[in-house]
Structure 1
Amino acid sequence: MIPTLAEIKINLNNALQYMRFNSAQIPTTPVTAKLFWQSFFAAVLCLPGTIYVSAAQPLDTAPTIDLFALLLIDSLFYIISWVAYPVMMHLLLVLHKKEKQFGIFIIHYNWLQVWQSVIFVLLLVILQSHILPDALGSLVSLICLLYILATQAYMTKITLETGWFSATAFVFFNIVLAQAILALNQDMMYL
């Protein structure tokens, strides 16, 4: 299910409101299976940024596998990263008796990933162009990372109707899961 351009625009605008810490501007919409599955189209929109960020990061040592296998493994782990977090979040939300908010959480989480990807790409372009001194570039990177984590926690707090502590815990769970997937992906490059 591919969303229309108008639906993409509406969803990206809603996600942008989270980036502005302004959930009052987001209309409440009933969660449907169509909206849920359409939100995974955000993975398609994030793909160019992910490819750029991955290609721009130098590796310590050259991979021991050929280029086709490398692309296949990276593609597989990209899909895994988009599926693993929703599956694990569903389990956690069932444990916390918040499974009713799962659909709206994933819809907003997926579309928020597009804006976060844009920030990472812009940050990488700025850092690679050496416009900023190294110390200032590191500070800007830290500020961007904290901002992204704060917006994700804010979105989690609003959609799951929970407090800041729980929202922050869910964000840290996302970080741990993402790092585990990344470590496994990098281990596969040196088989």
Structure 2
Amino acid sequence: MITADEIARGITGAWLLAKRNRAGIEWFDDSDGGFWKSFWAAVLVAPAFLGLDLLAGEFADAGPRHLAVKLISYVIDWTAFPLVMFYIAATLGRGGQWARYVVAYNWSAVVQVGILFPVAVLATLAPMAGTALLAQALTILMLIYRAFVAHVALKVNLGTAAGVVLLDVLLAGLLKNVAERIAGG
């Protein structure tokens, strides 16, 4: 089980990185136990993802199959990229930084959702050009943030870090497409 202090340390490290403070990386526990505990971030942000799906009407006429596919795809989304990155990090000669990167990546999701969720709710409930533009701008900033996390945690240049983020986005898009096809029937 994870403690409140461990959660606070993970979120603090992620927040410091969001403020471009490289010292944030030192807040993460990249031991075997800390690595596995960082996946609690998925539990922390799950209500926000479900809430957005509810607001978007995802479950209006959905049956148990749709919900099961959503939940399974959520778990796969949280595990597929770290598995792929195990091999990418090794290929980049950064296998020793892989665990630290995954821990930082996982905890950074809490910060990202904390920033994006309120704007996404606002854009859904009060759709205006301004809220949509704000959501798009914040999404771009979050992609930059994710690249900074990769840059610091993996100790790679910014171009490589941007490639890691692109891989993450493409894999997430592929998984979402597959899940939608399965859920739809």
**TM norm structure 1:** 0.90
Structure 2 distance, partners of 1:28, 1:118, is 19
From the CA coordinates, give the structure whose radius of gyration is larger: 1
User: Amino acid of the residue matched to residue 13 of structure 1?
Assistant: T
CA shift digits 1:82-102 (9 cap, x unpaired): 110000011111111111000
1:41 is aligned to 40
2:159 is aligned to 165
Structure 1 distance, partners of 2:184, 2:122, is 30
Q: Cα distance 1:159–1:25, how it changes in 2: closer, same or farther (>3 A)? A: closer
RMSD value over aligned CA atoms? 1.8
1:137 is aligned to 131
Q: Are 1:96 and 2:92 an aligned pair?
A: yes
Structure 2 distance, partners of 1:87, 1:174, is 11
Once the two structures are TM-superposed, the CA of residue 25 in structure 1 deviates from its matched residue by 4.7
Structure 2 distance, partners of 1:155, 1:90, is 16
- Secondary structure of 1:189's aligned partner: helix
- Do 2:123 and 2:131's aligned partners in 1 also have CA atoms closer than 8 Å? yes
Structure 1 distance, partners of 2:98, 2:68, is 30
- Do 2:25 and 2:152's aligned partners in 1 also have CA atoms closer than 8 Å? no
Once the two structures are TM-superposed, the CA of residue 32 in structure 1 deviates from its matched residue by 1.1
Structure 2 distance, partners of 1:142, 1:78, is 22
User: Amino acid of the residue matched to residue 6 of structure 2?
Assistant: E
- Secondary structure of 1:114's aligned partner: helix
2:23 is aligned to 24
- Do 1:52 and 1:121's aligned partners in 2 also have CA atoms closer than 8 Å? no
**Alignment: residue pair count:** 184
Name structure 2 gaps, 5 residues minimum: none
- The equivalences for 1:69-148 within 5 A come to 69-130=65-126, 134-148=128-142
Name structure 1 gaps, 5 residues minimum: none
Q: Cα distance 1:85–1:161, how it changes in 2: closer, same or farther (>3 A)? A: same
- Do 2:10 and 2:27's aligned partners in 1 also have CA atoms closer than 8 Å? no
Once the two structures are TM-superposed, the CA of residue 48 in structure 1 deviates from its matched residue by 0.2
Q: Cα distance 1:140–1:30, how it changes in 2: closer, same or farther (>3 A)? A: closer
Structure 2 distance, partners of 1:47, 1:121, is 11
Structure 2 distance, partners of 1:29, 1:36, is 9
- Secondary structure of 2:184's aligned partner: coil
- Do 2:28 and 2:103's aligned partners in 1 also have CA atoms closer than 8 Å? no
Structure 2 distance, partners of 1:25, 1:87, is 23
CA shift digits 1:105-135 (9 cap, x unpaired): 00010000111122221112221342xx722
Q: Percent identity?
A: 23
Which structure has more RCO (C-alpha within 8 Å, separation ≥ 6)? 1
Structure 2 distance, partners of 1:127, 1:30, is 35
Structure 2 distance, partners of 1:180, 1:92, is 18
User: Amino acid of the residue matched to residue 114 of structure 2?
Assistant: V
Once the two structures are TM-superposed, the CA of residue 29 in structure 1 deviates from its matched residue by 5.9
Structure 2 distance, partners of 1:99, 1:155, is 16
